[in-house]
Structure 1
């Protein structure tokens, strides 16, 4: 009787805020030779890869109405456990259901003789700790910003590996230095890595300014009107916009035609700028732990983009666009090339199947 090593079974938790976590999964998944089970409150992408199962979880952030007719908000239900965690609201059925579903899947796989070999968590302190308590090794995807709080420390301590999806040395790494032996700096992960600019070239249209929004929300009350005013304030340019009224799954063609891209400082967007080699004006948005502000500062220090701390006044736009036009950014510093494959290699490093588990003898 010969024992063989099974194909790895990997879980993957995709956070539901914005679209960035799902986009990152879609970039890394093709490089991972494993069967993957995704857990997320988001719906599955239309191009879900083979050997991938997507389990849609209940939301844990929606108000609930009790039998007494009172509407209760999870933010009022001690979600931080006195600062120990980020989000574990008491008595919320969605929160209980989602953790229960994850536990059932992990326990069921183990009972069937093919246990999960690892779980990628992008991102959740609670899921990280819960899955590790269930006996599964965890690969945590880190985020920029100040992550020195106690919940993040717990998650990094519990993880077997921590993926930092930006280049080493560009961001403040104080939160990761204490677990440096676990951290793998893989560079900016972009689904556009290796994608060619359409032919014929050049495709850039002089004066073409493209605004690219995100699904995570913005600080501006009337963004469409603000973009329209910026267009009027910059003679000789023609502005277009993506992500205002409708979501565009693939902005690549529009980005390649833009002389200047105006956008937020989200990780996926910045990595896409790097993959394109774009000239950009970056406006960081308010996010927990100063995530986008931290990334914007890194871009500013490296001279990779023109950074505005908040949405500029109308009369500030001409100078900002002119500065962006004059940039010659060396985006290779963001290390996008091969980053998704490097992230997959970190997962594979942890997800080593037990000999004979789930394999025929």
Structure 2
């Protein structure tokens, strides 16, 4: 049995789980505040966790904002508010399941607190990491305790001081995409562009679309507002260019499709997307926007991207989800053995010098 914590901010952590899950042999129990997918993979159980960031109401009717309840424990943690019922119930639910089930491994994507808590309960942990300056005390402790640290990028893609001291416990598997292995469905249409995700203010996007259509472009969008699409693969296949943020899943999906891209990094904790955008720019995989491009500038970037071939081979998407599952299987296989610091089998085919911070 494998446990898996899915963080509730955005849908990227869930998407990554769904990409890896088909490659796991064991039953999996997922813990998350997200709503369960309409269709769960076979042998997968979803445990809904209560929210831990809402305003707490005391028995006497008074309210308390968890942001005012020392949530960082004097800077040692990211989120552990004092006296919050939802926070306590989340951890209690996970603890009860571990005590009853005795899982072979527990994957945490992502939470420093859950990583530490699960290890304190005696479970082997696979901690998913992300790009950025993650040298703070909470990340340091989570990485120190992890049996394996799973990095969803290829070797050499990121300089990661927070991971350097962890040596071969860090396994870089390549970019994990839910579309890995899927066939291209239709030929690309040379003047079709896809806006994927919420990157631009609505009026900014509307002006850009108007300019593009005037210039002879066909425009599609998915996830920019209320236009969520369950399967964007057909849109990626037929478009000549995708405009996307620099999140791990977005970049991996573009790489899986081999599509020219304009990347607009978004502000995220620990500068995650800006780190990824610098890597993409250094490798020449895609065209990266500097700052917030105006509609005219964005149209120029799209024209530029369409005129240049896209080579995403260094992102190592093919087989990445299976390699991630292999890391989890390796940890699970040692569930009842004393802690073993031996490295896992090489999870990627090539290594190279680091290309960007």
TM-score by length of 1: 0.89
Q: CA deviation at 1:73?
A: 1.8
Q: Map residues 219-298 of structure 1 onto 2, 5 A cutoff.
A: 220=200, 223-234=201-212, 235-243=215-223, 244-298=225-279
Contact 2:221/2:227 (8 A) holds in 1: no
Q: CA deviation at 1:71?
A: 3.3
Q: CA deviation at 1:94?
A: 0.7
The answer to whether the aligner puts 1:97 opposite 2:70 as a matched pair is: no
**SS at structure 1 position matched to 2:241:** strand
Contact 1:163/1:184 (8 A) holds in 2: yes
The answer to whether the aligner puts 1:318 opposite 2:299 as a matched pair is: yes
- The match for 1:206 among 190, 200, 204 is 190
**SS at structure 2 position matched to 1:154:** helix
Aligned positions, number: 333
Q: CA deviation at 1:354?
A: 6.2
Per-residue CA distance 1:240-261 (angstroms, 9 max, x = gap): 2111113222111111121111
Per-residue CA distance 1:37-92 (angstroms, 9 max, x = gap): 11111122223111111101001111223344443221221111111110101111
Per-residue CA distance 1:127-159 (angstroms, 9 max, x = gap): 011010100010000011111111111000010
What is residue 74 of structure 2 aligned with on the other side? 82
CA distance in 1 between counterparts of 2:154 and 2:245 reads 19
After TM superposition, which residue ranges in structure 1, 4 or more long, deviate above 3 angstroms?
Answer: 67-71
Structure 2 unpaired stretches of 5+: 337-357
Contact 2:195/2:242 (8 A) holds in 1: yes
Contact 2:124/2:335 (8 A) holds in 1: no
What is residue 327 of structure 2 aligned with on the other side? 346
The alpha-carbon distance between structure 1 residues 176 and 24, as it changes in their structure 2 partners (threshold 3 A), is same
CA distance in 1 between counterparts of 2:290 and 2:34 reads 30
Q: CA deviation at 1:285?
A: 0.7
CA distance in 1 between counterparts of 2:242 and 2:7 reads 27
Larger relative contact order (CA 8 Å, sep ≥ 6): 1
Cα-Cα RMSD: 1.4
What is residue 191 of structure 1 aligned with on the other side? 178
Contact 1:86/1:126 (8 A) holds in 2: yes
TM-score by length of 2: 0.90
